[in-house]
Amino acid sequence: MEFIFTREIKADLLDVDNLFKSSLSPWWDEIDGYARKMDGDLSFQLLPAMVISAYRCLGLENKLSIQMANLYKTINFANKIHVMVKDEEEGQEHNQELQFTILIGDYIFGKVFSLLLETRADKLLDSFAAMICEINEGLIVKYKLNRNLQEVLARTRAPLYKNAFKSAGELAGLAPEITGIYGELGYNLGMALELVYVHEQKQDAGDYFIKAEQLLQSLSRHIIGMEPVFQKLVQEMGQEIGGSTDGL
């Protein structure tokens, strides 16, 4: 599925794909099989595009946006590999393949922190570590406490979007309050995207969509020179769920 808002960043997304592969190149032959399982996974495709857009929106350099999109793609990939590990009740065998899956997931998580240092974004280390902990707690909630879809997404998927937007705000030098609002924009856009396009639960996305609209309008008044990157996305989602795009 192609999104209108990604058409202008096709070349950047290809650069992210190439960087993703090269950054994991020492083990790519072993990892490739896991990567192929992501084909057609809209959630896996959306996140890098949203990271690039979040950085572009604040006028950050293109190279940085591609590097950060790769970071979040790599975190997302490690999460999805760990999710492949099932319980014994689900037929999971405790064999060498299981051990390798866990070890590869752990290796990729470790790679994320070295990529942060290579990107010279080491001041984000604490927030990345906190985000990974939050997602892992969310996975426990998902598999052990049987929470509803929105709560699971809020704790396993939305933190990626929120943290990506907050990291862009921090690296752009926004005031902490505005950075927090920008993070909330990421959270609400992420929730709406996941509900509408990944899980096809349009009826549950309305509140997140409306909140994202409101935050986007507020931020456009507070951030001088903010690029109109998300207007097409909001309009596209509005048509999908029948929401308003007034003022955008």
For the stretch 25-71, pLDDT in tens is 877 888 888 888 888 889 899 999 999 999 999 999 999 999 999 99
Give 97's pLDDT tier (boundaries 50, 70, 90): low
Give 166's pLDDT tier (boundaries 50, 70, 90): very high
Residues with Cβ within 8 Å of 47's Cβ and at least 6 positions away in sequence, in order, are: 69, 72, 73, 76, 160, 161, 164
Q: What tokens does 154 get?
A: 């809020």
Write down the pLDDT at residue 98: 57
The listed range with the strongest mean pLDDT (111-125, 150-164, 214-228) is 150-164
Mean pLDDT for all residues in the chain: 86
Give the residue-averaged pLDDT of 157-184: 96
pLDDT at 106 exceeding the cut of 70: yes
pLDDT at 146 exceeding the cut of 90: no
* Region label for 91, one of left (φ > 0), alpha (ψ between -120 and 50) or beta (otherwise): left
| Residue 28 CB coordination number (10 Å) | 13
For the stretch 198-242, pLDDT in tens is 999 999 999 999 999 999 999 999 898 888 889 888 888 988 887
Give the fold, CATH level 3, of 4-175: Farnesyl Diphosphate Synthase (1.10.600)
What distances in angstroms separate CA 36 from CA 85, 146, 152, 231, one per listed residue?
Answer: 17, 28, 25, 32
Give 92's pLDDT tier (boundaries 50, 70, 90): very low
Read off the pTM.
0.88
**Which among 163, 153, 151, 162 is positioned nearest to 185, based on CA atoms?**
162
pLDDT at 79 exceeding the cut of 90: no
Rounded to whole angstroms, the Cα distance separating 119 from 115 reads: 6
Q: What tokens does 107 get?
A: 């290796």
Write down the pLDDT at residue 96: 52
Write down the pLDDT at residue 91: 46
For the stretch 10-24, pLDDT in tens is 999 999 999 999 988
